[in-house]
Structure 1
Amino acid sequence: MSPNTEKLSPITEHEFKLASRISSITSVLVKEESEGFTLRLQMTGSQEIHILTTKKKTLRIWSNLNALIDFLKKNGVDIPSLTLVLLHN
């Protein structure tokens, strides 16, 4: 996953949960924003980079990394390892 990819495809939390249930998430990337942290992901069979959004189509932002990691664990993201790359604006 290229950290500097400009074109991102939104994915809702519901779609994210479905993707994690069927183990189609292959990589995740965390980006530090001024308000907190956003989550980008890539899925099986696609080069497209998705960014997690809310039902209202706004960015899903976590204020701290512990909450983001808890979200990933709670939703069963099943990837062999998780590498955290902090991208600064």
Structure 2
Amino acid sequence: SNPASPSLSATIATGTDSRSVAVSGDHAFVVNSGPDNMMVFDISNPASPSLSATIATGTNPASVAVSGDHAYVLNVLSQNMMVFDIS
């Protein structure tokens, strides 16, 4: 591996209008403003990521952050933040 010359390990579909990604451990969390959802991917094998779950969010999620056992999703049009237990 050479940080000055990264190579692509894998590609996986993330849905319509993806806005943000957060990584915690073996999981990546992606919010999509088109279908108003958060997709959770198992990335324990970076060469073969897989979809673990799709979770409804508020309207027009714009950002996701993960801290400890919780994922925080900011929804623009719903004007709220949702907190998900991911433990």
TM-score band by shorter chain is: 0.3 to 0.5
Flag the structure with larger Rg.
Answer: 2
TM-score by length of 1: 0.34
Q: Which has the higher contact order (CA 8 A, sep 6+)?
A: 1
> Relative to total residues, which structure has the larger strand share, 1 or 2?
2
> Relative to total residues, which structure has the larger helix share, 1 or 2?
1
